Amino acid sequence: MAKEVVIVGGGVAGIFVLRNLLAKKDKVGEGMHLTLIKRERSGWESVCGLPFALRGWYEIGLTEIQKPQFFQDQGVDFRTETEVVQINVAEGFVTLDTAEVLKYDYLVLATGRTPSMPAVVEQAKLEGVYTFNDEDDAREIEAAMNAEGVEHAFVRGRGINGLQAAVAFATKGLKTTVLGGPPSLLPSALDPDMGGMLKEWLEKQGIRFILERKPLTALKGDGGQVKSVVVGDEEIPADIMVIALGAAPNADLAKDPELETGESGGFVTDSAMHVRKGGCSLNNVYAVGDCVEVIDGITHRPRLSQFASTAVVQALVICENILGELIEQSTLYSPYAPCISPSIADIGGLLVGAVGVTSEAAARAGIKTVNGKATKLIKARYFPGATKLTMKLIFDAFTRKLIGAQLVGEATVAERINELAVAIYAGLTAAELRNMERCFDPSLSQLVDVTTDAAEKALESV
Ligand SMILES: Cc1cc2nc3c(=O)[nH]c(=O)nc-3n(C[C@H](O)[C@H](O)[C@H](O)COP(=O)(O)OP(=O)(O)OC[C@H]3O[C@@H](n4cnc5c(N)ncnc54)[C@H](O)[C@@H]3O)c2cc1C
């Protein structure tokens, strides 16, 4: 009998589990039947592309990479606008909102995240207030920002999504205010000095920031439409408002079968990504993506890593483990390594990258650090287009191993973040990074790279 695999969720995480399994489906002797269930109408949607669509670079519709039919044509029972309302891990089935019951041999929970919403916003029940979480949100925001008479935008949240929305509004010519807490922008990725550089860049694009511990106390409307917000004792005009305060893991389905969730609210898994119940791993139930709690690769504490880049690696591990059992009858599971969350974002033309811990996260975990920071041109000074790049490297003060890196510049950020992620995994020290030979061509790089200078600064500081 063909093995039944049921995937709950069709975001990046669920889709990548599906794609990986589809690619090797024919190798499963007894056959494998794949079912994916999701609430949205879309097939494979790239939410990561939505911020740039809002900036007008392309149509929102282009972010749907594959329609449901693409998967249905390959024999997948791909169900959109459908919800799983309950799972029964003892008997191995899920119940849908249509009351239909689907048996499974393997269950993959890829249920994603739910954007946080402050009570004051919910209670106001006004039109013109949006989250920025999916395609529907993007379409609503796009329509609202292009509506006649819209002049003022307000964003609550200073993370990547909030800042991306603010850039879209400012690009459109709206007077834009961002409210976040102190000390600076993207605090989970950047130290305040690096976040400050991003803030200055965005201020030059006309975005105003309120980065104080000031609460959003009220929303005021006119005819059911938001018109202003009250922050402390200031009333700020707002014809459109985006709430981007992060997102909670969507682990509601854990409740009934009493699956383990952690402090963050995400599913707890073992290193093979098996979900846990009553202190034991369920070897045929996996969780993946934004709904999962990861173990931080530096602090060894549980946390969330809500990135598409995290989800695709977890999806790979899960598929290897399911296929390992089905094809090779092996229960030597592949492990998902502790997570260091390399990240990159283009925020209004400034590229911001980070990997590993910030200085503050290290301090919270009791890790003493030394750091080195350097700013340099990315190619020889006589070359046109030689823009500046600032790199901050954070080392464990005791071992001198690299544990965090942050970059702000107009180019070469993504490849460097990946390189520094490898350096963290490899346990490279400040001296090893400084002494490493690097390639040189004046049109492409500097003879002495910014990494060498940043590592040298860290060594000088000890
Ligand atoms: C605007 C935006 C831009 C981003 N940009 C980047 C980027 O550049 N790089 C990056 O790495 N990350 C980025 N991210 C983060 C990244 O998109 C997420 O980490 C990723 O989408 C997580 O995928 P997921 O499948 O775990 O969750 P989700 O995308 O939240 O998908 C969850 C799925 O589960 C379904 N579901 C939930 N519960 C049920 C149920 N009970 N029954 C049926 N279906 C259910 C939902 O319908 C949905 O299909 C961005 C996120 C946003 C919102």
CB atoms within 10 A of CB 30: 9
| Res 462 pLDDT > 90 | no
How far apart are the C-alpha atoms of 411 and 401, rounded to whole Å?
Answer: 26
The ranges assigned to domains in the chain are 3-114+247-328, 117-243, 343-460
Phi, psi dihedral angles at 212 (to 5 degrees) = -135, 170
| CATH fold label, 3-114+247-328 | FAD/NAD(P)-binding domain (3.50.50)
Protein residue with its CA nearest to atom 20 in ligand 1? 308
CB 153 within 8 A of CB 241: yes
Can you tell me the distance from the alpha carbon of 326 to that of 34, in angstroms, rounded to the nearest whole number? 14
Tell which atom from ligand 1 comes closest to the C-alpha of 309.
Answer: 11
pLDDT at 204 over 90: yes
What tens digit of pLDDT does each residue of 61-87 get?
Answer: 999 999 999 999 999 999 999 999 999
Q: Domain spanning 343-460: which CATH class is it, in words?
A: alpha beta
Cβ partners under 8 Å of residue 111, min gap 6: 8, 9, 249, 250, 251, 252, 253, 289, 291
Q: Give the CA radius of gyration of the chain.
A: 24
Residue 53, classed as helix, strand or coil, is helix
Q: What is the DSSP letter of 334?
A: P
Nearest atom in ligand 1 to 291's CA: 26
Alpha-carbon span 378 to 390, nearest angstrom:
10
pLDDT band at 98 (very low <50, low <70, confident <90, very high): very high
Quote the ligand 1 centre to 319 CA distance (angstroms).
19
How much is the average pLDDT of 395-418? 98
Mean local confidence (pLDDT), 234-247 = 97
Average pLDDT over residues 326-347: 95
Is 374 in a helix, a strand, or coil? strand
The CATH architecture one would assign to domain 117-243 is 3-Layer(bba) Sandwich (3.50)
Does the beta carbon of 351 sit less than 6 angstroms from any atom of ligand 1?
A: no
Distance in Å, CA 12 to ligand 1 centroid: 6
Taking the C-alpha atoms of residue 437 and residue 458, their distance in angstroms, rounded to an integer, is 18
The 10s digit of each residue's pLDDT in 265-300 is 999 999 999 999 999 999 999 999 999 999 999 999
For the Cβ of 309 lying below 6 angstroms from any atom of ligand 1, the answer is: yes
Query: For ligand 1, is residue 39 a contact (CB within 6 Å)?
Result: yes
Our mutation pick for probing the ligand 1 site, out of 60, 85, 98, 306, counting the most ligand atoms within 8 A of Cβ, is: 306
Cα–Cα distance, 209 to 190 (Å, whole number): 17
| Mean pLDDT, the chain, integer | 97
What is the average per-residue pLDDT within 212-225?
Answer: 94
Per-residue confidence band for 314, with pLDDT thresholds at 50, 70 and 90: very high
> How many angstroms separate the alpha carbon of residue 317 from the centre of ligand 1?
18
Identical fold for domains 3-114+247-328 and 343-460, yes or no, is no
